[in-house]
Amino acid sequence: MHENKFIRFVQKSPREQWQIACHFGRLVTLLTTWPPAFFAPTGSIDWGWVVPRLRNDRTTYIIGLFGSGRSYINNLITENIGERAQFFVDGVLRLHSAPTSLIYSGHATMRYLSRGQLPPAVMSGILKAVKRRFADLIFVYRHPLDTLLTNWIWWRTAIRDRRLIGGLSDVYKNTDDLCADLDQNFLEFKAFAEGDPEFFAADGCQLPGFGHYRFLSFAEFVEETELHLRFATLPLRFEDFTIDPSKEFFKILKVMSVDLDLSCVRIAPPTTKPYRYLAVKDKVPRFKNFIDVLDAETKRRIEKIGYNTGV
């Protein structure tokens, strides 16, 4: 029986062979990664003897720090780039010694160890591949203060309720509810923003796949964003997708050398409201003060990456 299957396999065209191999690789991912969208194991997918490459593709790495809007970019790519979408892998970042058609998406840091994000050693390998022109690095980023609020709520919900949320709308009906919660639990928010490991003390059994480290402090998060932007092949500012998503998506297609007629594709903007932190700042005085007393270096970095802390 196995011999007959092997004969049928070798009789297929090269394209059909690597499609079968890629399907098997995706199955391995599902069996070894849980939950697949968040767990980032130290190992990697075993694609066997076939590493797919169409035409002159280069491996694509879509990197975003936690809470940056990477999932939105993932959905745009998998739903709109045609046949190459079958090579998309979320949550696992593997290095290759030559260009491939694979598209990896995940969280990784460049300087600091962080819970829920792959370590700097992984990013170092990715940057070497980019430098050798084996790969492209797409970095997704968002206003750090919006990300800070999102991450605080995400982690406290994951630890306390053992529930993974897609965004603030999964927890709050409106911004007023968020502001009330922040005002009531501001000391907890401040501890999270400072990278206090005690914030995670309640996670005694450790959420699977998220590591044993603390999460980045706000200052470290901003520094990591600045570092990533220095080396990205394509930086993508999440807020720009709310203005002209088709224009921003075209940048992705150009980097990935995907030939697609955008006139036939409707690119939806993100549902996440940009610059929500401004409304929170107006309603929660202690949050406004937190922003006002940020250290000068963090403020400088926020301005350098194209944002400010005011209107």
Q: Which comes out higher in pLDDT, residue 278 or 32?
A: 278
Distance CA 66, CA 89 (A): 17
Segment among 10-19, 182-191, 240-249, 253-262 with least mean pLDDT = 10-19
Which of 34-43, 168-177, 178-187 shows the lowest per-residue confidence on average (mean pLDDT)?
34-43
**Cα 18 to Cα 84: distance, rounded to the nearest angstrom:** 12
What is the side-by-side strand order in the sheet with 135-141? 88-90, 103-106, 59-64, 135-141, 234-237
Residue 147 to residues 65, 118, 228, 251, 273: CA-CA distances in angstroms? 9, 18, 16, 23, 12
**Residues 247-294: tens digit of each pLDDT:** 999 999 999 988 877 677 788 999 988 999 999 999 999 999 999 999
Q: Taking the CA atoms of the chain, what radius of gyration do you get in angstroms?
A: 21
Residue in the block written with tokens 């002209």: 244
59 bridge partner residues = 135
Q: Which helix (H) or strand (E) holds 228?
A: helix 218-231
pLDDT at position 227 is 97
Nearest alpha-carbon partner for 58 in 234, 250, 265:
234
Helix (H, G, I), strand (E, B) or coil at 258: coil
pLDDT, one tens digit per residue, over 176-186 is 999 999 999 99
- CA 67, CA 222: separation in Å to the nearest integer? 13
Q: How far apart are CA 143 and CA 131, in angstroms?
A: 27
Per-position b or e across 255-293, b if 16+ CB within 10 A of its CB: bbebeeeeeeeebeebebebbbbeebbebbeebeebbee
Over the stretch 110-164, which tens digit does the pLDDT of each residue have? 999 999 999 999 999 999 999 999 999 999 999 999 999 999 999 999 888 888 8
What counts of helices (H) and strands (E) characterise the chain? Answer: 13, 5
Residue pair 166/71 in contact by the 8 Å Cβ criterion: yes
| b/e code 89-114 from CB counts within 10 Å (16+ = b) | bbbbbbbbeebbbbbbbbbbbbebbb
Secondary structure E strands in the chain: 59-64, 88-90, 103-106, 135-141, 234-237
Amino acid at 89: V
- Quote the tokens at residue 161: 């309720």
Give the type of residue at 11. Q
What distance lies between CA 255 and its chain's CA centroid? 18
